[in-house]
Chains A and B, each alone.
Chain A
Amino acid sequence: MQVKRTPKTYDVCIIGSGAAGGTAAKVLTEGGLSVALLEAGPPVIPDRDYKEHVWPYDLPHRGADIGGRARHELNDEFMAPNGAWEIDGEPYVSAPGSKFRWFRSRIVGGRTNHWGRIALRMAPVDFKVRSHDGMGDDWPIGYDDVAPYYDKVESYIGVFGTKENIPSAPDGIFLPPPKPRCTETIIKKSCDRLNILCIPSRLAILTKPLNGRPACHYCAQCGRGCKTASNFSSSQVMIPPAEKTGRLTMITGAMARELVVGKDGKVTAVSYIDKATREERRVNARAFIVAASACESARLLLNSRSTLFPDGLANSSGVVGRHLMDTVGSDAGGYFPQLERMPAHNHDGVGGMHMYLPWWKFDRKNDFLRGYHTEFGGGRGMPGVGDFDELCDQYEGYGASLKRECRKKYGTYIGFAGRGEMIPNENCYCEIDPGVVDQWGIPVLRFHWKWGDNELKMAKDMQEMYRAIVEAAGGVFIPSTQVDVAHPYGIADGGVIIHEVGTARMGNQPTTSALNGYCQAHDVKNLFVTDGACFVTNADKNPTLTIMALTWRACDYLLDQAKKGNLGA
């Protein structure tokens, strides 16, 4: 007699293992639920995969990677694995006249393997922008709703910083900050002269041991992945406690294709392609958390069409894929002759800035709405491929004098990166390309992109401000190298800052939003989208900390529902 096995039904299935998915896995398994976690990439094994403490000369390509392809890309050879602008066999399309770049990480932990660890809280005003200036929309929730969850996330993952009482940059629960580097003392002095705020940065890197993880050892290589887990990544900080509960089933190499809906309009399963066998499989669950990254989550919803939901799941409002936002980015730099005279010294520090410039013109009327913060860095870092390109082109010639010039100028540059709030507009969205599928047969995204006037004015202000700061410090200003017709004031292409959010926004009205304030779909009660897709606005705060706080909050709500017997109801 043959026994028919009923496939297991998990309490919750999470799609994506990054900031959102990892947080959900931890909170839900610790809350007692059984969880299946789908990740499109492979597991990460720090001891094998991370190139921490490797010198360029330890690698045949010195960091330039095969054929020199990493000389000018973010995903250089040293970086933590499987994060890339382009993935073989998994294309995306920019519509004619639009240019959008999409950084994806196919690996357990997702983009938290690659992020800058900048962990900023949104300010109270950031949740209520329409009430404040009449543009865009308010969030259905406010700072007070999220603040307890910022507390929880910061206490658990560890964020350094200082209490400053700046309205545009709320304080959190902070570990002590590291001492400033030389580059940072120069800029701090200049900002003080100009009455510009310059304060210790807020990064998810441990300056003290926390929750079993050792403190940072100051090698400046966070982006390579940290073997001691002294910085935050979902794979090393969120997934391990979830695994410890015994209630987590991790399924890697699983490319989610479609959410399957039952007759009652609830999601019953997710169909995915097992990349190793190219076979289609299913995971059944009572509730689903989509956390694949804003655009990937929108893609999954739009690809989940059925007779009940002909325009895609959770999309009766038509907003899925709309309100796509990135961060306004414009860069500049400066050469600082005083740094030529610095003695050789260890400048490494943590893998990121020790100080930054929060938005400081919140108390006056500006040429544009909203604000931006500024990240900056430079100095005597580990030399790498491409570092001397500009110097070689400028100095020209050859020989001992060129060699000496490179040594003289080494470590004398500081770069500035403005990171500002974009106001969503109708020209920025993603949709399913009607003619293109990836190698798994899944229809791909097509991006539409156009910056608005407010963003261009902001980029202009960034360039002017950086000139003022550099010159007040006695340096020589170097404007953005990328100023042309397509990039006024050096504004970066859409997607380049890797802060895509807004593609399934939350709101009180089911007609103009996909989710409620708990990231729960208006149309499908057992479906939650807790990554950047749920954002209503994209404040000048890097989104990761808020993604984790909103996910934690959504999961507490879901656990509460489960306790009441309403899981999946």
Chain B
Amino acid sequence: MTISRRDILKSLSITAVAGSVLRVIPLEAAEYAHRMVKAEKAAAETHAYSPKFFSAHAFKTLQSLCNTIIPADEDSKGAVEAGAPEFIDLLTSENKDYQLTLGGGLMWLDNTCVDRYEKPYLDCAPEQQKEILDLIAYRKSFKKDPSLGQGVEFFSFLRRLTADGFFTSEIGIDYLGYVGNTYLQEFPGCPPVPEP
């Protein structure tokens, strides 16, 4: 017998209402539903991703930047594994302002790298990539060199969206240590707080 996710979710809400009589919190049902959602998503993601807005080249650059902004480290995977580039591509495909800031911003980055290093960003040596990012990752660069203004704006916005994409992923939520979104019979209150 196959059970659909919808059936599970439905039974979950019914059992929860019945909980007033039975005093049963359907924790297992909730966890089972979450697992099924995950399995469905995994099945849908077996195909290679084709970007909705960005060109293949721009999307590769976006992936590289996301990976640099929030990389994998000893504690967790990074923004690319967390699906940040796909999330950003989806929002950008639906928003004209994002298309200008991010689509135009990626072109600005390539143009600037061609001016400085005679190569688009992805073809630059790691030291060159670091050099330009170390400039556009800080507002103070704009004060020193106003021609970097668009780059600073672009990077600032991309940093926000990369953080969104990472910290709203399963990887990012685990990394932060958020515990919750569950069914409790009593709220346990607060463990002792250290004095400041």
Contacts and interface: CB of A to CB of B under 8 A. Distances in A.
A338 B196 contact: yes
Contacts of B193: 182, 185-186, 338-339, 342
Interface in A385-420: 385-389, 391-393, 396-400, 402-404, 406-407, 410-411
Contacts of B73: 400, 403-404
Given A398-B137, A399-B68, A67 B16 contact: no
Nearest to B164: A385
Contacts of B184: 217-219, 346, 348
Contacts of A382: 173, 178, 180-181
B86 to A, nearest CB: 9
A348 B190 contact: no
Given A67-B91, A214-B16, A55 B170 contact: yes
Interface in A55-70: 55-58, 60-64, 66-69
B91 A402 contact: no
Interface in B156-175: 156, 159-161, 163-170, 172-173, 175
Contact of A383 (B37, B168, B196): B168
B171 to A, nearest CB: 9
B124 interface: no
Contact of A55 (B160, B179, B181): B181
A400 B71 contact: yes
Contact of A407 (B37, B90, B95, B177): B177
Contacts of A411: 176
Contact of A64 (B34, B164, B170, B194): B164
Contacts of A397: 137-138
B180 A219 contact: yes
A349 interface: yes
B19 to A, nearest CB: 5
Interface in A339-367: 339, 341-350
B143 to A, nearest CB: 13
A399 B71 contact: yes
Give the interface centre of B169, B181, B183 by most chain A CB atoms within 10 Å: B181
A227 interface: yes
Contact of A227 (B13, B78, B94): B13
B68 A68 contact: no
Nearest to B93: A67
B160 to A, nearest CB: 5
B108 interface: no
Query: Interface residues of B toward A: which range?
Result: 35 or more
A111 interface: no
B168 A474 contact: no
A343 B190 CA distance: 10
Contacts of A338: 193-196
A220 B168 contact: no
B20 interface: yes
Name the prevailing secondary structure of the A interface residues: loop
B147 to A, nearest CB: 19
B167 A217 contact: no
A47 B138 contact: no
Given A214-B19, A338-B194, A346 B168 contact: no
B139 interface: yes
A31 interface: no
A229 interface: yes
A41 B166 CA distance: 36
Given A382-B180, A398-B159, A179 B189 contact: yes
Given A46-B13, A213-B20, A389-B160, A53 B194 contact: no
Given A64-B91, A179-B187, A388 B163 contact: yes
Nearest to B163: A388
A187 B133 CA distance: 41
A46 B37 CA distance: 19
A345 B191 contact: yes
B185 interface: yes
A385 B163 CA distance: 8
Contact of B182 (A62, A185, A219): A219
Nearest to A349: B187
A344 B179 contact: yes
A398 B194 contact: no
Contact of A219 (B164, B183, B196): B183
Given A182-B191, A336-B196, 7 more contacts: A47-B9, A338-B193, A345-B191, A346-B188, A380-B177, A402-B70, A475-B196
8 contacts: A47-B10, A53-B33, A64-B91, A68-B95, A215-B20, A396-B137, A399-B69, A402-B159
Please give me the 4 A-B residue pairs with the lowest Cβ-Cβ distance, nearest first.
A474-B196, A179-B189, A67-B95, A344-B177
Interface of B: 9-10, 12-13, 16-17, 19-20, 25, 30, 33-34, 37, 41, 68-71, 73, 78, 83, 87, 90-91, 94-95, 98, 133, 137-139, 156, 159-161, 163-170, 172-173, 175-191, 193-196
